[in-house]
Amino acid sequence: MPAARFGTVYLVGAGPGDPGLLTVRAAQLIASCDCVVHDYLVNPAILERLPAAIERRDVGKRGGASSTTQAEINALLVELAQCHRRVLRLKGGDPFLFGRGGEEAAALSEAGVPFVIVPGVTSGVGVPAYAGIPVTHRAASSVVAFATGHQAKDSSGDLDWRSLAAIETVVLYMGMHRLAENCAALIAHGRAATTPAAAIQWGTYPRQRVVTGTLATLPRLALEAGLSAPAITVIGEVVRYREKIRWFDNRPLSGRRVLVTRARETASELSELLGAAGAEVVEAPLARHLAPERWDELDAALARLEDYDWIAFTSANAVRFLWQRLRELGFDARRFAGVKLAAVGQATARSLESCGLHADLIPEHYDAAALGTALRGDGLHCVGNIPPTPCLPRVLLPQADNARSQLRDWLISQGCPVTAVVAYRTLSVDFALPEGQPAIDAATFASSATVERFAAALGEPGLARLVQSGCRFISIGPQTSATMQRLGIPLAAQAGQASMAGLVQAVIACCGAEGVQEPG
C-alpha cells in the first residue's frame, strides 16, 4: 500500500515509570500526538500529559489475565494509522528491549505504514539505578546480561542458565512468580549461593520497594515482604553498593502516601515539594478555577487603576486571572504604574514575579488578617524601600466568587475604601478516595475552603474511615486549623510558616522517617 495512505506510528519508550525519565522527544510526541496505544505499566502520571481529546487505547498485558494479543495490537496500529496523522505507541521502558517493539515495527513495515523508533530508558538500567545499584562497576562488574525471568508460552527451550551463571551481573525482567526457580537454576549451574541479589518492585516510583539478600535467601525474603510484579531482579556483586549509594528510597517521606487537596491548577508546587521529599502524592482536586461568567466588574476596575493606592492579591489564582484579563484587554505591566501591589504570601508574590511584577508588600504572617493590618499601616512589613502606606488607603481586592469577606470587612471597618471584584470562579469537584489502594499516611490542607469541601465530599463515614486508617491531617495555618477542628478533623500538625514549603516541613516532622527499613 502507498505510504501516503497512512499516518506515522511512533514506537516510543516511556521509561520505567518516573515521568522525569522521559526523553525530550517522547515528551514532545506525547504533547502532539493524535491518538495513543499504551501499555498497562505506563505510569498514569505520564498519560495525564496527553491532550485531553485524543483517542486512547489500553492494550497492556497483565500476567495471568486475558489481554490484547500481540497480533491484535499489530493490526490495531495499522488500522489507527489509516485514521490519524500521528499514532503514539507508548511502551514501558524501551521498545526494543523485551518490549516486542521489533515485532510491531516489522508488522508496520509489512503493511507499508511509516514508523519512527524513539528509544527509552530501560527498566534493567533505570530501576537498579534508583535502587542505588550500578549494573556495572569497575571494581565489581564489567559485563551485564539482561534476560527475561519467564519464557513465552511458545518457547521451545529454557534460558541458557550455564552461560548466565558465569556473567558478573545478571538482570532478570519479570518472572517474580518464578523467582525461586530462577535463583535455584543459577545456583545449580555454578553461581555461588552467597552471591548478592536484590528484587526491586515498582522501581523509580515513589512506592519503590527493595529487598536484598543472596541467591539462596532472596526468594524467601521477597515472599515474606510481599513483593510481586512489576519487579526487576539483580544478581551480582554490584548489589553490595546499595549500602553506600542508596539515594531514592531513603528520603524523608519515602514510602509515605500524602493526599494533596488543592485544585489541580495550584497543586503543582506542593506536589513537587512532597515528591522531592520522597512521598507518593495522591492528588484530590476538590475544586476547579474558571474565569468569571462576566468580566464587567474587573474590566471597570482595570480601566481606572489610578483610583487605587493598592491592589491586594490574596491568592496566586487572583494574580493569574487578573493578569490574563489585563493582557486580553491589550494592556501590559505599565498599567500598574502608580499603584502598589500587595501579596498575601510568597506563593502569591512568585505569581506576580512570573508576570514581571514585584510585590511591594508581603505581611510577616501569610494570612488575610496580617495583610489587612499591613495595608492599614499598622505593623507594616515592606519589600524594598517602599515607605509605610498612609492611613485609609484605597484598595482594589480581586478575588474568587466565593471568597471569604474577612479582609474586606476588616478594611472597611477601619475606614479604608475597598472595591472587591470577582476575578475568577471556584467550582467544586466530586471526589472519592481511590479503592483498593494503600492507606493514606497524611492529608494536607492549604485553606479553610478546601477543608470544608473535603469534609463535604467524604461525609462523616468516609472521614471516620480515613481517621481510623491512621491518616494524619496537616494544616497550613491557624485559620485552616480552626476550620478543621470545627468540622471534627483531628489536627496532627500545623505549618510553622504559612507556605507550601512550610506545609511540607510539617508533613516531614509529622510523618517522616530517617529511612524506610528494608525487609531482610
Q: Which of the residues are catalytic?
A: 39, 61
- The amino acid at residue 102 is G
Interatomic CA distance for residues 129 and 123, integer angstroms: 9
**DSSP notation for 171-207:** EEES-GGGHHHHHHHHHHTT--TT-EEEEEESTTSTT
SS (H, E, C) 378-410: CCCCECCCCCCCCCCCCEEEEEECCCCCHHHHH
Interatomic CA distance for residues 421 and 395, integer angstroms: 11
Neighbours of 381 (CB within 10 A): 13
Q: Which residue has the cell 505591566?
A: 333
Nearest in space to 468 (alpha carbons), one of 478, 477, 458: 458
Interatomic CA distance for residues 224 and 211, integer angstroms: 10
User: Cα 52 to chain center, whole Å?
Assistant: 17
Interatomic CA distance for residues 505 and 474, integer angstroms: 10
Sheet holding 169-173, edge to edge: 144-148, 169-173, 231-235, 196-201, 209-214
Nearest in space to 127 (alpha carbons), one of 194, 49, 67, 43: 43
Nearest in space to 31 (alpha carbons), one of 46, 51, 11, 17: 51
Q: Is-contact 218 401, C-beta < 8 A? A: no
Q: What is the dihedral of CA 22, 40, 257, 246, to 10 degrees?
A: -50
